[in-house]
Amino acid sequence: MQTYDLIIIGAGAAGLLGAGTAAEKGLKVLLIEKMEKPARKVRISGKGRCNITNTKHHDDFLAHVYPDSRFLNPALRNFSNFKTVEFFNSLGLKTVTERGERVFPESGKAWDVAECLVKWVKKSGAEIICNAEVKSLNIENSKISSINADFGNNEKIIKAKYFLIATGGISYPLTGSTGDGYNFAKQAGHTITSLQPSLVPLKIKNHNTQLNKLQLKNISLSLYVDNNYVDDEFGEIEFNKTGLTGALTLRLSRKAVGALTAQKRVELKLDLKPALNYAQLKNRIAREMQTVTTNYALLRKLLPQQIITTFAEKTNIKLQKQITDADMEKIIRALKNLTFEISGFNDFDEAIVTAGGISLEEVDSKTMKSKIVDNLYFAGEVLNLDASTGGYNLQIAFSTARLAAQCIVKQLERKL
């Protein structure tokens, strides 16, 4: 029976980073992945471009991490977003920084990020086995002695001194993220907090499907819960068959999902002309009214045609009617405050990340070590850590995995 220094379950972003880090220091590492290739989720992330990280400064970065950014603090200080960029550059992967301080591979291909990691891990000496599914942990006296793994109808028991669970959450399950890590953590005595989809499209009540695929740029989107302002974002949104998606929607979705789950009233309000205040917008419309006579003709000058019918229904104006002062007031108010009631959210198969996971109270933030099982560590999305869109979630995976692997290396060095 083979014995390893470290077995890592899950060959995603966290698993690969952890495996390479430990193997470079001389550890005998086995990385087990149940899918046919490593880094399936990385390969499709960022719409196939992979937003690796961003260049936000430390405190600003942590402000986008939930539910307790303080937990990430030691890991991020140890392996920061800036160190991540340096790391990939050192492996020969050129990067570019785009709008919003987001870092992408220069090639624009997520596949290149995945292959770069895989090649580095293999070069470091770690062993990667795919199409192999871990079935259970064997725990004795508060320590894991071995795992049971199925290698294509051939179940084996594999021993190791340390174990790192980096299986991801349950978002995008077709990439292999099906919640296995939560089951292993439960087996080890850990608590799993409530799991919810995050960075996920939201459903509009009584949605007009004519809006499908409409993109709106340079708008402001505000979230209201029970008629109270919660948050807002500026940028782009997109309508789909059931409601809203796009960067702004995804960023606000975590708070919206939480409110919907608590059965609260959720609304998204669009400011379609955020660069203009009420007086400026009124002057703009007054100028347009010198050349048009109907509400429809006026709205054609102000909005994409695809949204005009919905806009008219929400403002209760007749499109072919001549413009009145009352109609003009309704149009101005709606341009600054077009409201959509949110009825629900899409499932995990369309969520970028999972909110919730292994309770942070049961994991040492300075090492990523379990406080329950002596030789068990965690990294990445399997923890109750998630963040906004913009490279934050991959950075969480990289930072927590790097710290966990380094701490395992130190533990073994002490025992030599």
Nearest Cα residue to 196 out of 356, 21, 78, 338: 356
153 pLDDT tier (thresholds 50, 70, 90): confident
How large is the greatest C-alpha to C-alpha distance in the chain, in angstroms?
87
Residue 415 has pLDDT above 80, yes or no: no
> Percent of the chain beyond pLDDT 90?
96
Provide mean pLDDT across the span 291-316.
Answer: 96
- List of residues 6+ apart from 196 with CB closer than 8 A: 257, 258, 261, 354, 355, 356
Residues 153 and 236 in one domain: no
**Last residue of one domain, picked from the residues 345, 377, 402:** 345
Residues 23 and 146 in one domain: yes
- Indicate the SS3 state at residue 394: helix
Residues 339 and 396 in one domain: no
Residues 212 and 311 in one domain: yes
Whole-angstrom distance, CA of residue 109 vs CA of residue 50: 7
Range of the domain at 227: 202-345
Residues 251 and 309 in one domain: yes
> What is the per-residue pLDDT for 2?
75
Q: Phi/psi at 340 (nearest 5 deg)?
A: -125, 125
Six-digit token pair at 38? 């490593």
Residues 115 and 225 in one domain: no
Residue 207 has pLDDT above 90, yes or no: yes
- List of residues 6+ apart from 155 with CB closer than 8 A: 135, 148, 149
pTM of the model: 0.94
Residue 292 amino acid letter: V
> What is the per-residue pLDDT for 215?
97
**Last residue of one domain, picked from the residues 326, 345, 364:** 345
Residue 154 has pLDDT above 90, yes or no: no
Q: Phi/psi at 386 (nearest 5 deg)?
A: -150, 170
What digits encode the pLDDT tens for the residues 360-382?
A: 999 999 999 999 999 999 999 99
Residues 18 and 104 in one domain: yes
Residues 336 and 373 in one domain: no
Residues 243 and 294 in one domain: yes
**Last residue of one domain, picked from the residues 345, 371, 393:** 345
Cβ-contact 273, 299 below 8 angstroms: no
Residue 184, burial from CB neighbour count under 10 angstroms (0-12, 13-18, 19+): buried
Six-digit token pair at 147? 């795992």
